[in-house]
Structures are given as structure tokens and as C-alpha cells.
């Protein structure tokens, strides 16, 4: 037991990072059943769709789980209301200021965990009243800040300046990464990419195979817009777009990511993996992944 397992009511201090669009209810429930903390991604989904996904998880498990709220989205506060109404244990707050959602959830029994890419945001989040900080290094999959810091640098720096518990995210794929995170002062970990290569993940089997074959050098930070970067798999399509960035329609490209995840067609869209893809060689059940990580 530590502060994180106690706070979230879970067995192991392992959070499955929300992964838009692939953290499906089956994966989330499997993580929570295995003793970790599953998280649904919400992105720009309709509120009713989020409600249905939460219900689907609740039908599969009675263990605690949560949702991720990207606080820049117009529905952020409504998602917080849904979290309280549907009695979720916790939410993670990313991609924006946690202040408004955190304030709203304060007396609702739902814990707030802020995902931060640097020390300044960690301090701001603690001042906003969050219950824990997830310090996410640039090796992670998903959206990134512009000034990249690695997990190894970020986690101890955040641990040194905040008083709430810190979790490490980015680059953790096995027991060695888990133990390293604890050695840096983290009380737990948030893991994304490793769970893509799980039997329960909804991603197309071809995407999982590509992940198991990817080298650690095969991801790249890609500018989806003026403000956002994503760490994505470097495919022939991505190489072409990187060579001629002005000639491509970023909106279409983003829209096509669902196509890539669900049909495995990487000539059409992109998939986001963290650098830890290089370490992942096998598709396993969520339970086997978690048990190996905490072993």
C-alpha cells in the first residue's frame, strides 16, 4: 500500500494512460480487474457516448476506474459533472489548466490527477489543489509540449518541488522501468504504449504487430498544428509529410488516424506510440502485462 493505491483504492500503483481513440471499455475494465487503474479517453467525444462507455466499463467490473479530461475542450466541465454523477474514483486532467475542473470536483469525492510536462505546470497544478501529479516525459506516446524533457529528468525535479504524490509517465514498459520510476521518487506509474500490445486493446492486430516490431528510433515528434506535437510512428507516409510539411492537410491527416488504428492501414493515417515501443516484443493479456511490470 502507498499513497496512490490508497487514494485510488487499487492493488498496484499502475494507471493505464488514457489513449484516444483506443482505450476501449474492455481494456479499461481489464486493467482495473488486474489491480491497476483503467482510464477511458474522452477527447472530443459526445457526452452521451462517454456516459455509455462508462456504463460499459461498470458492467464489466466493479473495481475503480476513471476518465481523462482534456481541460482545453469545451466539454471539460460537463465531463467532470458526469464523473461525479457516475461516481468515478478519479479523473486525469491533461492538455490545459486543471483549475476549473479541479475546483468543481473538490467536494464531489472524485480525485483529480494532473498530467504535466514540466516543473512549472506541476507547481501550478499543486496550487490548483490536485490530489496527485503525473509527470510525463517526452518519450511517451500522445500529445507533447514543445519543450521536451525526458522522464528521467522530469520526475525527480517534480518530486523535489511538490508535496502531493507524483507518478511517472513515459517510457515505462516492464518491471525495470517501474522500479526505476520508484527509485526516482514516483509513487506509481502511468503507462500507455505497453497496453496497445495487449489482447484486450481494440487497435487492429496489424498495428499491434507493427508495434512489436518497431525500433526505439522509429517514433518522431510531429507537428499536428502550430501548438501541438504528437509522438507518432515514423511510416513512409509520415516521412513524406515531414519532407513537405506545407503541402499536407493536417485536418484530414488527423481525421484519418481512426482509419489507421482500426483498419491497420498506415498508408492513410498515423498511430501514436512512445519510444518504449522498441522494448515491446509480445502481445499479452492486460493481466500478464501488469503482473510482469509489478513483479
Q: Give the footprint of ligand FMN on this chain (CB under 6 A).
A: 17-20, 41, 43, 68, 70, 92, 94, 115, 136, 139-142, 169-172, 190-194, 272-274, 276
Q: In angstroms, give the least distance from the CB of 169 to ligand FMN.
A: 4
Give the residue with the Cβ less far from ligand FMN, 1 or 155: 155
Measured at CB, which residue is nearest to ligand FMN? 192
Nine-digit cell string for 113: 490527477
CA distances from 134 to 93, 107, 175, 205 (A): 9, 21, 19, 30
The Cα 114–Cα 91 span in angstroms is 9
Give the pairing of strands 142-144 and 166-169: unpaired
Nearer residue to ligand FMN within complex by CB, 20 or 121: 20
Smallest gap from Cβ 264 to ligand FMN, in A, equals: 14
Distance in Å, CB of 66 to ligand FMN, minimum: 11
Secondary structure letter of residue 276 according to DSSP = G
Closer to ligand FMN at the Cβ: 207 or 247?
207
Residue with smaller CB distance to ligand FMN, 121 or 272: 272
Rounded to whole angstroms, how far apart are CA atoms 195 and 172?
11
Q: What is the spatial distance between Cα 125 and Cα 118, in angstroms, rounded to a whole number?
A: 11
Minimum distance of ligand FMN from residue 212's CB (angstroms): 15
All 3 cell numbers of residue 117? 510536462
DSSP for 128-145 reads: HT-SEEEEE-TTSSEEE-
Which residue, 64 or 171, is less far from ligand FMN as judged by CB?
171
Closer residue to ligand FMN, CB minimum distance, 89 or 140: 140
Least distance in Å: CB of 201 to ligand FMN?
Answer: 10
Q: Which residue's entry shows cell 522501468? A: 177
**DSSP class of 247:** G
* Distance, CA of 134 to CA of 184 (rounded, Å): 13
The least distance separating ligand FMN from the CB of residue 1, rounded to whole angstroms, comes to: 24
**Residue 174 neighbours by CB distance under 10 Å:** 16
Amino acid at each position: 500500500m502507498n499513497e496512490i493505491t490508497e487514494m485510488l483504492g487499487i492493488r498496484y500503483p499502475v494507471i493505464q494512460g488514457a489513449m484516444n481513440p483506443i482505450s476501449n471499455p474492455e481494456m479499461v475494465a481489464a486493467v482495473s480487474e488486474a489491480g491497476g487503474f483503467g482510464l477511458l479517453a474522452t477527447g472530443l467525444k459526445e457526452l452521451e457516448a462517454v456516459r455509455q462507455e462508462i456504463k460499459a466499463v461498470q458492467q464489466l467490473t466493479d473495481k475503480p476506474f476513471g476518465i481523462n479530461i482534456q481541460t482545453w475542450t469545451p466539454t471539460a466541465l460537463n465531463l467532470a459533472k458526469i464523473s461525479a454523477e457516475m461516481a468515478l474514483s478519479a479523473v486525469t486532467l491533461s492538455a490545459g489548466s486543471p483549475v476549473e475542473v479541479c475546483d468543481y470536483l473538490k467536494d464531489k469525492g472524485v480525485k483529480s490527477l494532473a498530467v504535466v510536462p514540466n516543473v512549472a505546470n506541476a507547481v501550478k497544478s499543486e496550487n490548483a489543489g490536485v490530489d496527485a501529479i503525473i509527470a510525463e516525459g517526452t518519450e511517451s506516446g500522445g500529445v507533447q509540449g514543445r519543450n521536451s524533457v525526458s522522464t528521467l529528468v522530469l520526475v525527480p525535479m517534480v518530486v523535489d518541488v511538490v508535496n502531493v504524490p507524483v507518478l511517472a509517465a513515459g517510457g515505462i514498459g516492464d518491471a525495470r522501468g517501474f522500479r526505476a520510476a520508484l527509485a526516482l521518487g514516483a509513487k506509481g506509474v502511468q503507462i500507455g504504449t505497453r497496453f496497445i500490445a495487449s489482447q484486450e486493446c481494440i487497435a487492429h492486430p496489424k498495428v499491434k504487430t507493427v508495434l512489436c516490431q518497431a525500433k526505439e528510433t522509429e517514433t518522431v515528434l510531429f507537428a499536428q498544428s502550430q501548438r501541438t506535437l504528437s509522438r507518432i510512428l515514423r511510416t513512409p507516409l509520415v516521412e513524406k509529410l515531414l519532407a513537405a510539411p506545407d503541402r499536407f492537410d493536417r485536418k484530414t491527416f488527423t481525421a484519418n488516424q481512426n482509419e489507421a488504428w482500426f483498419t491497420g492501414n498506415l498508408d492513410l493515417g498515423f498511430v501514436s506510440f512512445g519510444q518504449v515501443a522498441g522494448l515491446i516484443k509480445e502481445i499479452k493479456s492486460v493481466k500478464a502485462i501488469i503482473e510482469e511490470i509489478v513483479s
